[in-house]
Amino acid sequence: MIDQHIASAFDRDLEEIQAHLMKMGGMVENAIREGAKSLKSRDEELAEKVRKADRQIDALDMQIQEECARVLALRQPIASDLRTVLTVMKVAANLERIGDYAKNMAKRTTVLVHMQPIDGASGAIKRMASEVRQMLTDALDAYIRRDEELAQDVRHRDLEVDQMYNALFREFLTFMMEDPRNISSCMHLHFIAKNIERMGDHVTSIADQVIYLVSGELPDEARPKGNSANYQLQIEDTDEADA
């Protein structure tokens, strides 16, 4: 709805909340980018910066939730206004979780810099993080433009992230079986990869919310999931190891 409310203060409230959400989105995009960069370049200082920045993301989430509660109490929004407020609340919660995962990536980076690097792993993780970050950028663009099609596109791209995770999972298993001294760093790297995969799920949830915001209905069509192969893989690999 481009039309303005008769009560212009209501418009200002909604615009302000959404501006805060977008600011939060930008901070989270940054956290993913810099978290992955700190891992790749073994930059402890940058990792520390990412960890600290998460506090601001959390504070902004709190602020947005409070602002939404205030609008619900004072304006009793309905129809598209209600969907806007509900969407902002959920998207902010998703962003906050993604921020936590980025912080965790930075935290593990500060440990990993003191370990022997694993060949190619941090590059692959950075590519995965950059794919998720691009999905997040597009999901937030879809939010701003109320673009259902772009949101659908984002949902489907989560499959690629799942596949990247599966490939990394297999790679880390191999490294660990080759040399038990790799186990410690591979475990950290695996958690990072898993967390990025979870970020992808949160981005997908943001895209779902955009669809709800625009159409009034959450998408019911099941999106393709790339996880099942993993469990298969685990069993096979265990068999191999036994043999």
By CB under 8 A, residue 7 contacts other proteins: yes
By CB under 8 A, residue 56 contacts other proteins: no
The residue among 40 and 75 lying less far from other proteins, judged by its C-beta, is 75
Cα separation, 82 vs 227, whole angstroms: 34
Q: What is the DSSP string of 25-65?
A: HHHHHHHHHHHHHHHHTT-HHHHHHHHHHHHHHHHHHHHHH
In angstroms, give the least distance from the CB of 88 to other proteins. 16
Token digits of residue 32:
């993913």
- Angle, helix 79-112 to helix 121-145, in steps of 10 degrees: 170
| Cα Rg of the chain (Å, integer) | 20
Phi, psi of 40 (to 5 degrees): -65, -45
By CB under 8 A, residue 76 contacts other proteins: yes
By CB under 8 A, residue 5 contacts other proteins: yes
By CB under 8 A, residue 1 contacts other proteins: yes
By CB under 8 A, residue 3 contacts other proteins: yes
In angstroms, give the least distance from the CB of 87 to other proteins. 13
By CB under 8 A, residue 40 contacts other proteins: no
By CB under 8 A, residue 69 contacts other proteins: no
By CB under 8 A, residue 4 contacts other proteins: yes
The residue among 120 and 216 lying less far from other proteins, judged by its C-beta, is 216
In angstroms, give the least distance from the CB of 153 to other proteins. 23
Q: What is the DSSP string of 200-228?
A: HHHHHHHHHHHHHHHHSS---SPPP---H
By CB under 8 A, residue 191 contacts other proteins: no
The residue among 33 and 83 lying less far from other proteins, judged by its C-beta, is 83
Residues 205-224 binding other proteins (CB under 8 A) are 215-217
How many chain residues interact with other proteins (CB under 8 A)? 18
Residues 79-98 binding other proteins (CB under 8 A) are 79-83
Is 232 buried (19+), middle (13-18) or exposed (0-12) by CB count in 10 A?
exposed
By CB under 8 A, residue 77 contacts other proteins: yes
The residue among 9 and 59 lying less far from other proteins, judged by its C-beta, is 9
CB crowding 161-173: b at 16 or more within 10 Å, else e: bbebbbebbbbbb
State the CB neighbour count (10 A cutoff) for residue 237: 15
By CB under 8 A, residue 239 contacts other proteins: no
Binding site for other proteins (CB under 8 A): 1, 3-7, 10, 76-83, 215-217
